[in-house]
Amino acid sequence: MRFDDLDKKMRVYEKSLDQVITPETYMIARLDGRGFTKLTKEVCKYEAPFDIRFRDSMIKTVEYLMDCGFRVIYGFTESDEISLLFDLDENTFGRKVRKYNSTLAGEASAVFSLDIGRVATFDCRIIPLPNIKLVEKYFLWRQEDAHRNSLNSYCYWTLRKQGKSKREATRMLEGKSVAFKNELLFSMGINYDKVPSWQKRGVGILKEEYEKEGFNPVTGEKCITTRKRNKIELELPLGSEYATFISSLI
């Protein structure tokens, strides 16, 4: 069989599971760290429940993903996860899901590993959303997840630092309300309302325009050009204000 014929035949099988996100559909990529509990607590020994070094490595990874060839207009990170919102007209790889998943997971794993000096990996999934309202709800959902993770982490690690075992700390928090957990922290000297915002709401990264002085080689004159750069938001709004913030980026 000639190579061209064999290639044509085998390409059918290779593409048999290809999924393509339809045009005019919003795309979000969510990446999650694999085995990051062991990585952060046992291997890297980061401070619990939050460590600025880990936060900054996640931010650096998001910034890289926003500038590595895709049209990403917003990035969000909390705990060991990253969410990327693509421009509606993003069309890299013909919007093939497998290409986004494999490329983004590989890029994130490489950048994060280099930054912390340890092997770390991410998985990735593409989430198609048909309208702006669902995009808003997606990010409200992930922000609420950030809050829940934060409150639980503060309670768990505060109990652990006071001598409770893993099982004891877990049982003390199992099925307990948000009010109970806030009161528990307050009784141990922690006012959760005063915890840094980024620990409760996550971190946002967006594109902002700025003016830069340049030089026109044709006229020999100085000129002002408009460029874009990443802006890191450590104080994200809540609720309807956050939804408005998200829709303003689209």
Q: Where does residue 29 rank: exposed (0-12), middle (13-18), buried (19+ CB within 10 A)?
A: buried
Q: pTM, whole model, 2 decimals?
A: 0.90
CA-CA distance, 181 to 183, in Å (whole number)? 5
206 membership: H or E segment, kind and range: strand 203-216
Residues 137 and 240 sit within 8 Å (Cβ to Cβ): no
User: In this structure, is the dihedral angle defined by the CA atoms of residues 98, 101, 107 and 113, taken in order, positive or negative?
Assistant: negative
- If pLDDT is split at 50, 70 and 90, which confidence band does 12 have? confident
- Dihedral angle over CA of 184, 189, 194, 195, nearest 10: -70
Q: Kindly tell me if the per-residue pLDDT of 219 is higher than 90.
A: no
Phi, psi of 27 (to 5 degrees): -120, 135
The overall average pLDDT reported for the chain is 94
Q: Kindly tell me if the per-residue pLDDT of 6 is higher than 90.
A: no
- Dihedral angle over CA of 7, 11, 13, 16, nearest 10: -170
How is residue 56 written in tokens? 């900054």
Higher pLDDT, 78 or 210: 78
Helix (H, G, I), strand (E, B) or coil at 84: strand
Q: pLDDT tens for residues 107-132? A: 999 999 999 999 999 999 999 999 99
User: In this structure, is the dihedral angle defined by the CA atoms of residues 135, 195, 170 and 45, taken in order, positive or negative?
Assistant: positive
Q: What is the pLDDT of residue 209?
A: 80
Q: Kindly tell me if the per-residue pLDDT of 16 is higher than 80.
A: no
What's the one-letter identity of residue 109? S
Higher pLDDT, 127 or 18: 127
Rg value, the chain, Cα? 22
26: which strand partners?
129
210 membership: H or E segment, kind and range: strand 203-216
Q: pLDDT tens for residues 156-209? A: 999 999 999 999 999 999 999 999 999 999 999 999 999 999 999 999 999 988
Q: Percentage of residues in the chain with pLDDT exceeding 90? A: 83
Mean pLDDT of 61-73: 96
Q: Kindly tell me if the per-residue pLDDT of 211 is higher than 80.
A: no
- If pLDDT is split at 50, 70 and 90, which confidence band does 216 have? confident
Domains of the chain: 12-140 (3.30.70.3000)
76 membership: H or E segment, kind and range: strand 72-78
